[in-house]
């Protein structure tokens, strides 16, 4: 009996000790259909008596994401990643020594169990364009400050060798929290682009978004206008370096980065050209409407009625009313128009309410409300520097025809005399050679960045710095 009692005490002590300390690495897998799964790694640490978490997603080669808060109370772990559009809530199972709960992204919720321990699973890397060391150029880890926002931005600067003062470009990522490589679907397009341009004699600065990776700040509180000040700070940093040709500093923006670029360029006289990649040229409210229709994952009884419902939701969210009033109006609007569509699909009112709450939260963030009211054509019209605009004909996120038409009209209206607008046949939103251009195709394509697009960018930049 004494031996059994001692064993029981040891087990009890281990459980009690665990209840006080959840620090360490936890991992689990979310299943998406029959053959697809995504593994998540949560690294929980203690800082000033508070828990902090870093999230990594190996399959997508994403690391360093920072949820805004982590709490552990009465066996319940809550990782609040509202700043990233995610949340994890799980209860600790003392018998199985694991957290059992749900991972949520937007309106989607999936079961996720977390076990303690490091991963030993290797991720297949089928990305033949990625450069291999030693590089024929210099690479430097850098940190620069946005003093106005009081954030530090960490990045990588690649510099050509045997050049006293190199022309430079700053890469600006698309929407959502992005690392310096703009990692998506196991691809790192900004790494490929930076390597290609630096081999052509162009210095390249790419950096983690605020609140991502090694950069400080809170991503969820920032708008497109705030990100533009980060870019202006990057320009100021390059100007401070003796190895950069300060007469030739350009901006290369992808997707949202393409609407940040003109906004930033118009705030400084130190940008000499910009490159817009898959950029929009119409108001954010129209982009959001188009994407809500084209990327909708469920059928609706009436396309016309659905479009009108989304238009009204955007109009409500974009208004200058008090946020509490906007949320009340959105709740009433969604309960009248969207809830009846969702009920047959999800089966119960509780789930419908959860989805509606997620939709309201997504439509009322500072970033979204600014985006709805921002028209990039207004800033593009002001540009009096050379502009290159590239869009892929297979882009299902940003329609090439509609957006390039608006970009061109804005440049003409502003009397810009040096611009080039090109549609690249068969390329998707990330400039991969594609079949459908749909999002589920991104990870299946080995190519990260079309050589045609890379050459188009580099040749145009070289033409404008010589």
Residue 451 belongs to some domain of the structure: yes
pLDDT of residue 82: 77
Same domain, 244 and 335: no
**Considering 116, 147, 174, which residue would you say is the last residue of a domain?**
116
**Considering 48, 81, 116, which residue would you say is the last residue of a domain?**
116
Residue 129 belongs to some domain of the structure: no
Residue 121 belongs to some domain of the structure: no
Residue 83 belongs to some domain of the structure: yes
pLDDT in tens, 111-159: 889 988 876 555 556 899 999 999 999 999 999 999 999 999 999 999 9
Same domain, 364 and 413: no
The answer to whether 130 and 191 have CB atoms below 8 angstroms apart is yes
420 has a pLDDT exceeding 90: yes
**pLDDT band per the 50, 70, 90 thresholds, residue 9:** very low
Residue 124 belongs to some domain of the structure: no
Q: Which is it for strands 166-172 and 244-254: parallel, antiparallel or unpaired? A: parallel
Give the CATH number, domain containing residue 13: 2.40.128
pLDDT of residue 38: 81
Residue 132 belongs to some domain of the structure: no
In the three-class reduction of DSSP (H, G, I as helix; E, B as strand; rest coil), residue 1 is classed as: coil
Same domain, 277 and 313: no
Q: How far is CA 40 from CA 114, 185, 395, in A?
A: 9, 14, 29
**pLDDT band per the 50, 70, 90 thresholds, residue 104:** confident
Same domain, 250 and 311: no
Residue 85 belongs to some domain of the structure: yes
Same domain, 415 and 362: no
**pLDDT band per the 50, 70, 90 thresholds, residue 359:** confident
Number of domains into which the chain is organized: 3
Q: Which residue has the higher pLDDT, 233 or 297?
A: 233
The answer to whether 206 and 171 have CB atoms below 8 angstroms apart is yes
Segment (H or E) for 311: helix 303-318
Range of the domain at 455: 137-283+374-463
* Average pLDDT rounded to a whole number, residues 182-190: 93
35 has a pLDDT exceeding 90: no
pLDDT of residue 103: 87
| pTM confidence score | 0.83
């Amino acid at each position: 009996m004494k031996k059994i009692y001692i064993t029981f005490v040891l087990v009890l002590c281990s459980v009690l000790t665990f209840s006080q300390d959840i620090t360490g690495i936890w991992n689990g897998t979310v299943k998406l259909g029959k053959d697809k799964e995504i593994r998540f790694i949560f690294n929980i640490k203690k800082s000033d008596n508070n828990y902090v978490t870093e999230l990594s997603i190996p399959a997508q080669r994403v690391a360093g994401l920072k949820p805004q808060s982590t709490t552990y109370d009465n066996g319940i772990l809550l990782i609040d990643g509202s700043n990233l559009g995610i949340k994890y809530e799980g209860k600790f199972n003392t018998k199985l020594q694991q957290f059992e709960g749900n991972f949520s992204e937007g309106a989607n919720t999936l079961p996720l169990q977390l076990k303690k321990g490091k991963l030993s699973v290797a991720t297949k890397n089928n990305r033949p364009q990625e450069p291999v060391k030693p590089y024929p150029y210099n690479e430097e880890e850098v940190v620069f400050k946005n003093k106005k926002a009081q954030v530090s931005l960490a990045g990588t600067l690649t510099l050509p060798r045997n050049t006293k003062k190199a022309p430079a470009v700053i890469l600006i990522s698309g929407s959502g929290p992005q690392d310096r490589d703009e990692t998506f679907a196991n691809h790192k397009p900004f790494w490929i682009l930076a390597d290609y341009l630096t081999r052509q004699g162009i210095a390249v600065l790419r950096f983690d978004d605020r609140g991502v990776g090694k950069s400080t700040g809170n991503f969820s509180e920032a708008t497109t206008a705030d990100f533009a000040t980060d870019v202006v700070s990057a320009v100021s940093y390059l100007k401070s370096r003796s190895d950069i040709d300060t007469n030739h500093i350009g901006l290369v923006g992808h997707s949202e980065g393409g609407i940040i670029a003109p906004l930033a360029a118009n705030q400084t006289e130190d940008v000499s050209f910009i490159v817009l990649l898959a950029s929009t040229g119409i108001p954010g409210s129209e982009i959001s409407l188009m994407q809500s229709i084209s990327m909708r994952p469920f059928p609706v009884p009436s396309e016309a009625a659905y479009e009108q419902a989304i238009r009204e939701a955007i109009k409500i969210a974009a208004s200058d009313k008090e946020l509490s009033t906007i949320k009340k109006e959105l709740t009433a609007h969604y309960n009248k128009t969207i809830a009846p569509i969702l009920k047959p699909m999800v089966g119960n009112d509780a789930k419908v309410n959860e989805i509606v709450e997620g939709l309201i939260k997504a439509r009322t963030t500072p970033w979204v409300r600014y985006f709805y009211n921002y028209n990039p054509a207004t800033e593009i019209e002001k540009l009096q520097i050379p502009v290159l605009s590239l869009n892929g004909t297979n882009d299902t996120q940003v329609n090439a025809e509609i957006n390039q038409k608006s970009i061109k009209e804005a440049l003409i209206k502003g009397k810009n005399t040096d611009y080039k607008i090109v549609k690249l046949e068969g390329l998707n939103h990330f400039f991969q050679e594609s079949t459908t251009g749909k999002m589920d195709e991104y990870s299946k394509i080995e190519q990260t960045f079309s050589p045609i697009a890379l050459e188009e960018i580099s040749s145009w930049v070289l033409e404008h710095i010589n």
